[in-house]
Amino acid sequence: MLAGGGFLVGFGSRYAGGCTSGHAITGLSELQWPSLIAVTGFFAGGLIMTHLFFPLFF
Amino acid sequence: MQKGIRFIITGITFGIVMSKSEAVSWYRIQEMFHFRSFHMYGLIGSAVLTGIATVWLLKRYNIKDSHGIPITFKDKDKGWKRYLLGGSIFGLGWALTGACPGPIFVLLGEGFPVMLLVIAGALTGTYTYGVLRDRLPH
């Protein structure tokens, strides 16, 4: 499960072109639109995992 | 070596900040996705505000780096698909492991060898992206 989560983190951050530091912190600091879209995606993914998938797993 | 030291010091500082601010805590991240605490919002929000001010100052005064080269900011590529799709995939993994690429190393350093599994998974993920890159919508 941890390796799978790691896979998603690695794949997603390469695909989106950045992670929490690259998009949420530095991207938003530079007021870049793509970063705001990416952060929306981070949050959407996180909410889906927390509220839809966690109840199924645990 | 002289060159490398700056990066090492910055990295160590970043690691300490991440660790002390609890940004590497799975529980803090769960709290955020349950909207139960202001902690992570305050942390990220204040980081962004500091960042905006710093970027503004760097641009306003044309500040140069230690080699005397002007600091420039490169615009991210246009489009939205990769950001929304990649971002959502990242978010799934972020909530599951409670760690993004920085914190996985911080947590390893805090003494959780299990993070090696996450690191191995993340490397496999980045490799897979490289293989599939041309077939994904960007």
Q: Do A10 and B84 touch (CB under 8 A)?
A: no
Q: How many helices (H) and strands (E) does chain B have?
A: 6, 0
Q: Which domain holds residue A39?
A: 18-57
The type of residue at B56 is W
Q: Which residues in chain B have Cβ-Cβ distances shorter than 8 Å to A34? A: 76-80, 83
Question: What is the nearest CA distance from A17 to chain B, expressed in angstroms?
Answer: 7
Domain-located, residue B54: no
* Phi-psi group of B97: left, alpha or beta (phi > 0 → left; psi -120 to 50 → alpha; rest → beta): alpha
Q: Within its chain, how far is the Cα of B136 from the centroid? A: 23
Domain count, chain A: 1
Sign of CA dihedral A14, A25, B14, B31: negative
Confidence check on the interface: ipTM exceeds 0.85, yes or no: yes
Q: Do B102 and A20 touch (CB under 8 A)?
A: yes
Q: Which of B73, B120, B125 sits opposite A11 (nearest CB)?
A: B125
Domain-located, residue A7: no
> Which pLDDT value is given to residue B66?
82
Q: Do B91 and A49 touch (CB under 8 A)?
A: yes
d(CA B29, CA A3): 18
Q: Which domain holds residue B98?
A: 1-36+75-135
The stretches in chain A having pLDDT less than 70 are: none
Domain-located, residue A10: no
Domain-located, residue A33: yes
Domain-located, residue A44: yes
Domain-located, residue B125: yes
Domain count, chain B: 1
Return the residue of A nearest to B85 by Cα: A41
Contacts of A49 (CB under 8 A, 6+ apart): B33, B91, B92, B93, B94, B95, B96
> Which pLDDT value is given to residue B1?
62
The stretches in chain B having pLDDT less than 70 are: 1
Domain-located, residue B89: yes
Domain-located, residue B48: no
Domain-located, residue A23: yes
Domain-located, residue B63: no
Domain-located, residue A11: no
Domain-located, residue A2: no
Q: Which residues in chain B have Cβ-Cβ distances shorter than 8 Å to A5? A: 92-93, 96-97, 118, 121
Domain-located, residue B64: no
> Which pLDDT value is given to residue A58?
76
CA distances from B59 to B9, B63, B64, B70 (A): 25, 7, 10, 9
Return the residue of B nearest to A35 by Cα: B83
The type of residue at B100 is C
Are the C-beta atoms of residues B93 and A19 closer than 8 Å to each other? no
> Which pLDDT value is given to residue B4?
85
The type of residue at A9 is V
Question: What is the nearest CA distance from A55 to chain B, expressed in angstroms?
Answer: 12
Q: Give pTM, 2 decimals.
A: 0.93
Q: Do B87 and A9 touch (CB under 8 A)?
A: no
